[in-house]
């Protein structure tokens, strides 16, 4: 296969058909170096301590040619990330101890859906669940804002993906304060401190999840206003993409500055070592997916996942069953 075609396939996330063979060994010696590269590559976009975070220090674009030869390791990262996630999911499931929650937040047309689709393409659907959070229903408004998200948390051994999340409570709700007024909260609770209170509650919630074995990793797909405009126009001009566009998207765009200020404060206040934000440059979709794949490798590799070892007694029991099975046809 021509080199160019190979690169294209990697970028598009297309995989060889599943032959039902065993899962990719991400610990194979040749892959160790790639894993190291992936970890250091994603680190530049990782915000583990938000204190000094400023969104303006993070670019939406990347000045790199993914087709150049020296970028091969980066390209390989996407497939490695997809493979790693598939393998790790199998181990997560077997261990039944940890779960992983991936949160995606972004402005419209930043590429959340496509990124989720690509990065999860190798994963066994049985061990993974994607939830999209829209404006809350009447029933949801009768509860605290974490309620609907808690119901969708991944069980031990599983991967959960939130397409939008409780972070909307410090984004859209902050930009449109009238939404806050519709949340059935007593006036006494709506004070100037409410956003700081929400940041603190979210930090504590994620700490609580970590202490109970759920790792939360957050992605902000950082798209520029110009790139969003291009993608909106494409959605309007291309009939097959019309369904993706709504006039509400164009309206939200007019609040761009307010949203960026809200994202800036949110990331500063909710980045922690256990639950970092990744600020992903999203003007280039393939690059964004590679960053996300690397970040997932980083998170999972840090857990040191291993298949559970069974006891000597259990091994003896399994061997006995095997002997009985083999004796059946004698
Ligand atoms: P798509 O890519 O399909 O446009 P989307 O995530 O933008 O996906 P939409 O149905 O277009 O989905 O939008 C969901 C809307 O719900 C967003 O505008 C979001 O801000 C809003 N939303 C989510 N959570 C809340 C919340 N807690 N309060 C108010 N609005 C919310
Ligand atoms: Mg939308």
Contact, 106 vs 223, CB < 8 A?
yes
Model pTM? 0.88
Q: What are phi and psi of 189, to 5 degrees?
A: -90, -15
- Substitution candidate for ligand 1 out of 168, 169, 250 with most atoms within 8 A of CB: 168
Ligand 1-lining residues (CB < 6 angstroms): 108, 113, 132-136, 163-164, 168-169, 172-173, 179, 246
Closest-CA residue, ligand 1 atom 3, reads 244
Which residues, 6+ apart, have CB-to-CB distance to 300 below 8 Å? 84, 85, 88, 100
CA gap 34, 309 in Å, rounded: 27
State residue 5's pLDDT score: 42
Q: What is the pLDDT of residue 39?
A: 82
| Sign of the alpha-carbon dihedral angle for 24, 30, 35, 38 | negative
Report DSSP letters for 161-211, one per residue: EEES-GGGGGTHHHHSHHHHHTS---GGG--TTHHHHHHHHHHHHHHHHHH
Query: pLDDT value at position 6?
Result: 43
Total domains present in the chain? 1
The rounded mean pLDDT for the chain is 88
pLDDT of amino acid 237: 94
Give the domain CATH number at 136.
3.40.50.300
Question: Which of the ligands is closest to the CA of residue 243?
Answer: 1
* pLDDT for the residue 195: 98
Nearest ligand for residue 172 CA: 1
For residue 107, give its domain range.
2-327
The dihedrals phi and psi of 213, each to the nearest 5 degrees, come to 95, 15
Among 172, 173, 266, residue to substitute to test ligand 1 (most atoms within 8 Å of Cβ): 172
pLDDT in tens, 307-323: 888 899 999 999 999 99
Low-confidence ranges of the chain (pLDDT < 70): 1-27, 29-30, 63, 65-75, 330
């Amino acid at each position: 296969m021509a080199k160019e075609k190979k690169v294209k396939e990697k970028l598009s996330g297309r995989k060889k058909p599943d032959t039902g063979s065993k899962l990719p060994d991400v610990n194979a010696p040749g892959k160790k170096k790639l894993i190291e590269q992936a970890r250091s590559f994603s680190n530049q976009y990782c915000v583990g301590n938000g204190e000094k975070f400023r969104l303006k220090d993070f670019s939406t674009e990347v000045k790199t040619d993914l087709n150049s030869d020296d970028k091969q390791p980066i390209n390989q990262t996407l497939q490695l990330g997809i493979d790693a996630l598939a393998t790790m999911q199998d181990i997560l499931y077997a261990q039944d101890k940890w779960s992983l929650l991936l949160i995606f937040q972004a402005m419209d047309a930043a590429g959340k859906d496509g990124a989720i689709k690509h990065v999860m393409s190798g994963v066994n659907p049985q061990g993974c669940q994607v939830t999209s959070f829209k404006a809350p229903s009447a029933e949801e408004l009768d509860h605290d804002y974490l309620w609907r998200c808690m119901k969708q948390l991944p069980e031990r051994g599983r991967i959960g993906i939130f397409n939008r999340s409780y972070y909307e409570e410090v984004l859209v709700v902050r930009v449109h304060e009238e939404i806050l007024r519709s949340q059935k909260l007593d006036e006494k609770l709506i004070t100037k401190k409410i956003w700081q209170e929400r940041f603190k509650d979210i930090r504590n919630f994620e700490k609580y999840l970590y202490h109970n074995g759920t790792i939360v990793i957050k992605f902000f797909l950082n798209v520029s206003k110009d790139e969003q405009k291009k993608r909106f126009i494409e959605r309007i001009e291309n009939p097959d993409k019309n369904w993706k566009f709504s006039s509400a998207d164009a309206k939200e765009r007019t609040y761009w500055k307010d949203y960026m200020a809200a994202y800036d404060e949110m990331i500063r206040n909710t980045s922690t070592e256990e639950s970092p934000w990744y600020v992903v440059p999203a003007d280039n979709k393939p690059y964004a997916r590679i960053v996300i794949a690397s970040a997932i490798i980083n998170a999972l590799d840090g857990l040191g996942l291993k298949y559970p070892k069974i006891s000597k007694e259990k091994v003896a029991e399994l061997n006995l069953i095997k002997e009985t099975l083999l004796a059946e046809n004698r």
